[in-house]
Amino acid sequence: MPTLVLASASPRRHELLTRLGVHFVVDAADIDESVRPGETPRDYVVRMAREKAGTVRARRGDGAPVLAADTTVVIDDDILGKPAEHFAGLAMLARLSGRTHSVITAVCLQSGDGVAAIEVETRVTFLTLDREVCERYLATPEPWDKAGGYAIQGLGGALVSAIEGSYSNVVGLPLAETWQLLGARGIATALGPADG
C-alpha cells in the first residue's frame, strides 16, 4: 500500500501522528476554510476534513490514502478561529474565561476503499481570567496560530481547569479514534490494529 499522506501542515498533527508510529508524508491541502452561512460548527469541521482529504488525493493522483483533519473551538454555537490581532485574541480569551467550551475535530481518511470519517468532541473549562493574565498570555507567540487563541499543550494549559474527553483532540488529532480509523483500513501503526 502507498505511504499515508497527511493533508495538514500542522506541526501538532504531525507530532501526534508520529506518536502512533505511522509512516507518512505531508502534503497540505491549502483550501478556502471560510464558514458557509448557516453552517453548524460540526458540519463545518466535517466538510473541511473531507475537502482537505479529497483535494490532496485528487491532486496527487498516486492512489495513496490521505488523512485530513479539522479542529474548531466552539462557544455559544460560534466558531472561534485563529485570532487575527491582539484585540481579537483578547476578546476570545475573555469569552472563554470561567466557562466551558467544546473542541470538535473531524478526521477523514480517503483511500481506494472509499471515505471514512469520524468526529470527536471534548469539553474544556477555563479558569476565570483577569485582563492582566490575558495580556501576559497574548504577549507570548503561542495564541496566534491556534483556534480559540490558546494551546492546551503549552502555556495555555495553565488556563484550563477541567477537560472532559480526549486531550489529544484538543491538540488537533484524537489519537484513539485516529488509530481505529487507520487500523480499519489496514494502515500500520506501532500498536498494530485497533480492536473495536
Question: Is residue 179 classed as helix, strand or coil in its secondary structure?
Answer: helix
Cα atoms in the Cβ-side hemisphere of radius 13 Å centred on 58: 7
Q: Alpha-carbon distance 172 to 163, whole Å?
A: 15
Contact 65, 111 (CB under 8 A): yes
Nearest 5°: the CA angle 17, 23, 26 is 70
Residue 191 CA to its chain's centroid (Å): 22
Contact predicate 10/172, CB 8 Å: yes
Catalytic hit among 70, 78, 113, 145? 70
* Residue 30 designated active-site: no
Distance in Å from the first CA to the final CA of the chain: 23
User: For the chain, how are helix, strand and coil distributed in percent, rounded to 5?
Assistant: 40, 25, 35
Q: Mind spelling out the 3-state secondary structure of 118-141?
A: EEEEEEEEECCCCHHHHHHHHCCC
Three-class DSSP category at 122: strand
Catalytic residues: 70
